[in-house]
Homo-oligomer: A and B are copies of this chain.
Amino acid sequence: MAKSDPTTPRERYRTQVRAEVMERAWEQIATAGASALSLNAIAKHMGMSGPALYRYFANRDELITELVREAYRDLADTLHAASETGADLAGLARTLRTWALADPQRYLLLYGTPVPGYQAPEDTTAISQEIAVTLIDACAAALPPATPASPLATHLADHRTWAAGHPAPPEALALFLSLWTRLHGVLSLELAGHFTGMQFDAAVLFESELATLLG
Contacts and interface: CB of A to CB of B under 8 A. Distances in A.
A202 B178 CA distance: 11
Interface string A173-197: 0100110111111101100111001
- Assign chain A's interface to a size class: 35 or more
Contact of A112 (B113, B156, B186, B204): B113
B162 A204 contact: no
Number of copies: 2
Interface stretch (A13-21, A79-87, A138-146, A147-155): A147-155
A162 B205 CA distance: 15
| Chain A residues touching B, majority SS | helix
A8 interface: no
A42 B111 CA distance: 29
A173 to B, nearest CB: 9
A167 interface: no
